[in-house]
């Protein structure tokens, strides 16, 4: 998609650019969070903002997630459009009430009279041995609870468009970015996430999945990092004469069930790839969404390649053993075929 003379950005830079552009045109937008000021965000997504917008609009906070996320809710209800960072999604446990009981529900509780236009950005994902409290995805946890939109870009183009869309949305949006896609060298980085990003501001529709690779034998459905694993697996499968379609969910809430169902209706086979814990989460939801709609389209039982139901281990060999990867996706296909 990217031509050689086009400007490429990392997801981190795409997020920062979208935020800066929006802040220039909308004085209500401001950013709060830990280390998002002079440091520019641990994952680089607010880099350069404090220099342009100053410490009033780019606010470093105390380590008080309940207070500052709750404050974002209050500020949003009062007419501002806060962008808040929860540094690692793993920290949601200290502040989830402010997220799921205030941010997500105050619109409903007020019958729509109060709006809560805010973006909660948070980093997800492992693969670099950061241990069990700093490597989770928790997609299912956030997507399960009503009242918040949830998006998770797999590349910089989508990242910018989603960020702008999230800031303009009058409802709260949880923006889950994967550390391994940020383009921060020190985390390793998936090259496929750094793509051409137009200079001008644009939005991506929240709630629309994308078929990022067309195929006819199997649908591989995933989000974030999993999309890249799926694309790699698709390449391997292609060499074996198997044509895999890859669906990037992009948004988890609203979930674009039509696109998933249409893909599976076409291919007749489904593999879900999810870096979040396997049970009671995203992988189950995708399978259920397809099978409850129409089981007749399926030529074989759907499969999931997901993180097993264990805390994320530190040791590299253990963590890599647990993580989804292209080989496991190919193996899932092989089992599917054999069955």
Partner 1 sequence: MSPTREDQHWMYCNMVTSRRFEEAIAKIYFEGKSPAFNMANGPIPGEMHLSDGQEPVAVGVCAHLTPEDVVTATHRPHHQAIAKGVDLDKMAAEIFGKATGLSGGRGGHMHIFDADVNFACSGIIAQGMGPAVGAALSRKMQGKSGVAVAFVGEGAVNQGGWHEAMNLAAVWNLPFVCVIEDNAWGISVSKETSSAVANNADRAAAYGIPGKRIEGNDPYAIHEAAGEAIARARAGNGPSLIEVETYRLAGHFMGDAEGYRPEGEKDALFEKDPIPKMRARMIGDGMASEEELDRIEAEAAARVDAAIKFARESDDAAPEDALTRVFAA
Ligand X SMILES: Cc1ncc(C[n+]2csc(CCOP(=O)(O)OP(=O)(O)O)c2C)c(N)n1
Return the structure tokens found at 306.
Answer: 């997901």
Q: Please say whether the beta carbons of 264 and 270 come within 8 A.
A: yes
Known active-site residue 65: yes
Q: Alpha helices of the chain — where are they, by DSSP H?
A: 11-25, 49-57, 65-77, 96, 106-109, 139-144, 156-168, 225-239, 257-267, 282-291, 316-322, 326-338
Contact between 146 and a copy of itself (CB under 8 A)?
yes
Known active-site residue 134: yes
Rounded to a whole number of angstroms, the CA Rg of the chain reads 19
Footprint of a copy of itself on 63-102 (CB under 8 A): 66, 90-101
Contact between 87 and ligand X (CB under 6 A)?
yes
**Of 24, 38, 52, 63, which lies in the binding site for ligand X, with binding defined by CB under 6 A?**
63
Segment contacting a copy of itself (CB under 8 A): 21-29, 55-63, 187-195, 304-312?
A: 304-312
- If you write DSSP's letter for every residue of 139-151 in order, what string do you get? HHHHHHSTT-EEE
Catalytic one among 17, 22, 134, 285? 134
Contact between 67 and ligand X (CB under 6 A)?
no
Nearer to ligand X, 91 or 157 (CB): 91
Query: Smallest distance from the beta carbon of 140 to a copy of itself, in angstroms?
Result: 5
Contact between 85 and ligand X (CB under 6 A)?
no
For residue 151, list its beta bridge partners: 175, 251
Query: Smallest distance from the beta carbon of 134 to a copy of itself, in angstroms?
Result: 10
Give the whole-angstrom CA distance, residue 81 versus residue 119.
8
CA 2 to chain CA centroid, Å, is 22
Query: Smallest distance from the beta carbon of 165 to partner 1, in angstroms?
Result: 13
**Of 48, 128, 284, 331, which lies in the binding site for a copy of itself, with binding defined by CB under 8 A?**
284
Question: What are the residue numbers of the active site?
Answer: 65, 134
């Amino acid at each position: 998609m990217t031509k050689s003379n086009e400007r490429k950005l990392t997801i981190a830079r795409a997020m920062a650019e979208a935020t800066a552009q929006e802040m220039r045109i909308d004085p209500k937008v401001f950013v709060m969070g830990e280390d998002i000021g002079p440091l520019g965000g641990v994952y680089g997504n607010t880099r350069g903002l404090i220099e342009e917008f100053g410490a009033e609009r780019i606010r470093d906070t105390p380590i008080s997630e309940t207070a500052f996320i709750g404050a974002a809710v209050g500020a949003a209800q009062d007419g501002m459009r806060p962008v808040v960072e929860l540094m690692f999604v793993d920290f949601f446990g200290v502040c989830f009430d402010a997220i799921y009981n205030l941010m997500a529900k105050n619109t409903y509780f007020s019958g729509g009279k109060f709006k809560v236009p805010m973006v909660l950005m948070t980093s997800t994902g492992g693969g670099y041995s950061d241990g069990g409290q700093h490597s989770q995805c928790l997609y299912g946890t956030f997507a399960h609870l009503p009242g918040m939109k949830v998006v998770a870009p797999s590349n910089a183009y989508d990242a910018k468009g989603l960020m702008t869309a999230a800031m303009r949305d009058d409802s709260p949006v949880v923006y889950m970015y994967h550390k391994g896609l940020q383009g921060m060298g020190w985390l390793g980085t998936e090259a496929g996430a750094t793509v051409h990003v137009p200079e001008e501001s644009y939005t991506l529709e929240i709630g629309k999945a994308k078929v990022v690779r067309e195929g006819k034998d199997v649908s591989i459905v995933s989000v974030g990092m999993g999309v890249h694993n799926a694309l790699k697996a698709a390449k391997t499968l292609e060499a074996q004469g198997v044509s895999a379609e890859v669906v990037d969910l992009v948004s988890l809430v609203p979930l674009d069930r039509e696109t998933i169902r249409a893909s599976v209706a076409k291919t007749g086979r489904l593999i879900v790839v999810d870096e979040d814990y396997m049970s009671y989460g995203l992988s189950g939801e995708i399978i259920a969404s397809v099978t409850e709609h129409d089981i007749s389209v399926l030529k074989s039982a759907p499969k999931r390649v997901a993180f097993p139901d264990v805390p994320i281990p530190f040791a590299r060999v253990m963590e890599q053993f647990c993580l989804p990867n292209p080989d496991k996706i190919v193996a899932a296909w092989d089992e599917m075929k054999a069955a």
